[in-house]
Amino acid sequence: MGTWKRWGLGVLAGFVLAMPARAQVQLFGLGATYGSVNDISHSFDLSGFKPSEYTVFFDYRIEHEALLRFTYGSMWTQQSLVGQTVNGVFVPSAKEHVNYVTADASYLFGEDFYTGGIFGGIGGYEYRPEPMPPGFEAYQDPAKKYFGFNLGVDGEFRVMKHLGIVLRLTYHNISAETRRQFFNADAGLVARF
């Protein structure tokens, strides 16, 4: 490499390093959370939160105050008719996984130590039910995929230059035959680069 090319690369690197820290925005984030799920399809009760969800996510800051996030999550919850009386029959307990992938847009506010966000998006949700007890098979959720949307708020507390703690509250609304609604509270870590 010629001397003038090295000198040019050196000057370019110097300008990049001399930029104010505020101008060096960390564009990408990769993180994971673990939290609790509250099935609010029939009623909202704060005692309904059960530790049974994890997510992994990737986000890209498209503007200074906006980012695009892709999330894969998995909830472990009761099937939709559990605990209800249907046609005079009390439906017993049976679990299911609800796996999902969402794409969200988030509006950000705050800087430095804390950044908050309000987000919303769409996603695909897949029900993977365990078998119902014998004689109750007719009340089992179907193993199908559905469309849905989510809304929420989150906060990120920076603990190191490239690492933060994330707290997130998310409302999921799934357009299944029996409409499902979940309210999730998660905490986790995100790496920014």
Q: Which sign does the torsion angle of CA 128, 172, 44, 168 carry?
A: positive
Q: Say whether 9 sits in a helix, a strand or coil.
A: helix
Residue 166 in domain? yes
Residue 100 in domain? yes
Residue 48 in domain? yes
Domain around 39:
26-192
| pLDDT band at residue 23 using 50, 70 and 90 as cut-offs | very low
Residue 1 in domain? no
Chain centroid, CA 59 distance in Å = 11
Residue 20 in domain? no
Identify the top-confidence range among 16-20, 77-81, 102-106, 160-164.
102-106
Please indicate whether residue 6 or residue 28 has the higher confidence score (pLDDT).
28
Residue 41 in domain? yes
Specify the number of domains making up the chain: 1
Tell me, what's the pLDDT at 42? 83
Residue 5 in domain? no
**pTM metric for this prediction:** 0.83
94-122: average pLDDT: 94
Tell me, what's the pLDDT at 24? 52
Query: What does each C-alpha distance from 9 to 4, 5, 14 come to in angstroms?
Result: 9, 6, 8
CATH number of the domain within which 44 lies = 2.40.160.20
